Amino acid sequence: MEGQDWVYSDKVKDHFLNPRNFLMGDESKFDYDAVGQVGNPICGDQMRMYIKVGRDKKGREIIEDVRWKTYGCASAIASTSALSELCKGRALDAALKIGAKDIDDYLGNLPKHKFHCSVLGHDALKEAIENFRKKSS
């Protein structure tokens, strides 16, 4: 059907209207260890991901908490919200393995022409983890 590629799943709508782990206001109010920022010059979306790193019972570094900000469309907001839920509590290397397809599947599929939004979130998280590792070494 014409226009079906614009249909958002209920889960995408929910994450857009009720974003999880969104950082409202001043980032100094969130005690983060590292930040990653990426943008897409074609669509204009910008994402910033803040991570707080802790350790699990086995001593592995994990994403203890995460917050984010984005300037972007509904798909960008929903994708970043979903990623923030998927990565919380995971070991850093495991969090890096969360890909755009995982985010898309979790949300019940983004419109095809909006799939790139899920890639931006992953890239912002990757940069935050890399920044944390640089600071820690």
Per residue in 16-64, pLDDT (tens digit) is 899 999 998 888 889 999 999 998 777 777 889 999 999 999 999 999 9
Task: Note if 87 is an active site residue.
Answer: no
- Which residue is catalytic, options 49, 62, 76, 117? 117
Which one of the listed residues 11, 43, 89, 130 is annotated catalytic? Answer: 43
Question: Domain map of the chain by residue range?
Answer: 4-136
**pLDDT tens-digit profile of 103-120?**
988 988 877 776 666 778
Which residue reads 């990757």 in tokens? 126
CATH number, span 4-136: 3.90.1010.10
CA distances from 136 to 29, 74, 87 (A): 22, 34, 20
Q: Please say if 43 is a catalytic residue.
A: yes
What is the maximum alpha-carbon separation in the chain?
54
